[in-house]
Structure 1
């Protein structure tokens, strides 16, 4: 009789965890946060203790900001109150509590490099630097304590994707730091420094963002000089160039760098918030895109870039000023806009015409509800 055969029992293989090869993150950018006296006076009037309440101004836009990993803004006015008193055009100064609010709202990348950064002189800029220097977990670029601080490229990391931020301005409105001041800023005219900064950022981060405060105010077309500078930035290592200063929208385009990377340039994303009084100046946009980092190749790139239109709304006499995404902006609101006193015919159609004349359809996000409204208007027109 043969002995029974033994059967070897083996444990089933333990399934291997899939190896992650792609990291992702989301990014959004807001343009000029230009705080006129109307804005800070309304914020102060909402409180009874002498502080400021900026929430109603931004409340409709906050979900777009808080939902993103990276959120950039150009803080156009120097935050130096206290000790300075708040002030408006032509020499701006804004309450530091505005910065606290923006950080709490989800903004974590700030440019403080612009033509108003010296509106309160060297001392005002130092107050601003000291204020921002107390904050953790954010990247603030454009004003520096000294040469050593200038060489400390600002970075921020989310989801294992590290971004660098370099902020540059073409002008300080004829104001200058004293010759012996230790403070530093980056001007577009100093190409040697700008090249060094971008190349250094390329070495220490996955994705290089350059904020350029440039161009001509109220010009809806970028200049050839802007394009030349943008190409240089791309060749030096920039991945994304965000333009501010014109206070109106300018085109978006994709450049190719010397090493073959695609580099997105938004020449101007317009005003985020202001109390300006011309139709094109209260139509802005937030630049949205996705970031992907390929862990196998080490490359980081952007996808799905688009401009999300925004409207700064106010009533008669600049009352109840606040910002809306276009998707939440009702036609009746447009028809009640205080800007109609200065810009005839301001309505939804005016807004869409302005947007489509400047920005290529490939980069423009017109909300479905607005498209449906326009389609209905067209049907009515055909039936006439």
Structure 2
């Protein structure tokens, strides 16, 4: 069912038509006989207080906020998001365990304000059931419930069966910060990292740091790229300056460093607004992707820029025993109106479409009708 989407990427983004500065094209093919996979990515998932309280007092389902976007994840072969904040059962901001207090918003155990977050772990199976296949947990709110918060979140994620990257348990000092997933016979390694943890100390080295541990990440990428069971590598950094519409010097520098080491794509989050994507050709001739920030997927922040996000799609193809290549990229803008997130299609909110196009162009914009009207790759 999901592979229908691959043709849209293949046909839509190798076009020789005029291209605006943000429109991207790639030289790889997605022909019949190749292994082909599409991966979707979204940015920050933050359940701010107003949204959280509306869920507790209403549907009692986090997924009700993003319900209308679920078909867009289901059209990809694999979907990834950044869960910004712990999902630690019963833990307050000081690391104290209050036990299971139920599905409530009390501002002590479960909080979505004052820059300290924690969500009821019910959010994890709801993300999984909505089509998310992997979450990165490395972000500036990773330690909002101290070390035990990471432990409890990872425990819950394992219980519900949703893979995570970017953090590890306090009693597992050699645990991996990455996961390798087989997606339509293309084996993709996902690595999560963060620039900061809001000053919270990482006493047990549970978080992977994008800049402070860049050399470690580079070696990790090189090791993974040499493995026969890895066809592509996606790095998921949480980085950059909040509310800035363009990447800073560090984002540009480290993205290129990771790609030159062997990564296929760098897909960023944290600024809470969109930042542009670009194609980067490495010194060894590989065409790679940088998407500096996908903005907010779910967050309660006001203004068009903070209410607009993007679902970005990465198309990969592989022939024989070679490594996977990018054959195309696409995106669908999203917009939070009240406590719900809406996909914005071609006849939707003109301001949202124009804002997103300024970062990702127009040729790559996808909607469900476009997806469903296409045939398989030929």
The verdict on a shared fold, with TM-score over 0.5 as the criterion, is yes
Q: What's 2:38 paired with?
A: 26
Superimposed CA distance per residue, residues 331-368 of structure 1 (whole angstroms, 9 cap, x where no aligned partner) = xxxxxxxxxxxxxxxxx333233223333345445899
Q: CA RMSD in A?
A: 2.2
Give secondary structure in 1 for the equivalent of 2:36. Answer: strand
| Aligned residue among 70, 73, 78 for 2:86 | 78
Residues 23-72 of structure 1 show CA distances to partners (whole Å, capped at 9, x for unaligned) of 1122111110011122222221225xxxx312321111000112221100
The 3 A distance-change label for structure 1 pair 241 and 83 is: same
Determine the structure 2 residue equivalent to 1:353.
354
Are residues 1:142 and 2:166 paired?
Answer: yes
Kept in 1: contact 2:193–2:207 (CA 8 A)? no
User: Scaled by the length of structure 2, what TM-score is found?
Assistant: 0.79
SS in structure 2 of the partner of residue 81 of structure 1? coil
Q: Which residue of 339, 344, 361 corresponds with 1:326?
A: 344
Q: Does 1:255 align with 2:280?
A: yes
The answer to whether the 8 Å contact 2:150/2:168 transfers is no
SS of residue paired to 1:247:
coil
CA–CA separation in structure 2 for the residues paired with 1:304 and 1:91: 38
CA deviation digits over 1:72-105, x for unaligned, max 9? 0011121113344210121000111011100111
Aligned position for 2:220: 197
Equivalents in 1 of 2:361, 2:201: separation in Å? Answer: 38
2:331 aligned counterpart, secondary structure? strand
Q: Which residue of 1 aligns with 2:134?
A: 109
Task: Write out per-residue CA displacement over residues 271-293 of structure 1, whole angstroms, 9 at most, x where no aligned residue.
Answer: 00111012200011010132211
1: CA distance, partners of 2:257 / 2:63 = 39
Q: How many residues align?
A: 318
- Answer yes or no: is 1:160 the counterpart of 2:185: yes
Query: Is 2:314 the partner of 1:302?
Result: no
Conservation of the 8 A alpha-carbon contact between 1:153 and 1:197 = no
Identify if the C-alpha distance between structure 1 residues 135 and 56 changes in structure 2 by more than 3 Å, giving closer, same or farther.
closer
Q: CA deviation at 1:182?
A: 5.8
Partner of 2:76, secondary structure, is coil
Which is richer in helix? 1
TM-score (norm 1): 0.78
Structure 2 Cα separation of the partners of residues 364 and 149 of structure 1: 38
Counterparts of 1:204-223 in structure 2, within 5 Å, are 204-223=229-248
Partner of 2:376: none
Bigger relative CO (Cα 8 Å, ≥ 6 apart):
2
Contact 1:326 1:367 in 2 (8 A): no
What's the counterpart of residue 333 of structure 1? none
Q: Does residue 1:233 correspond to 2:251, yes or no? A: no
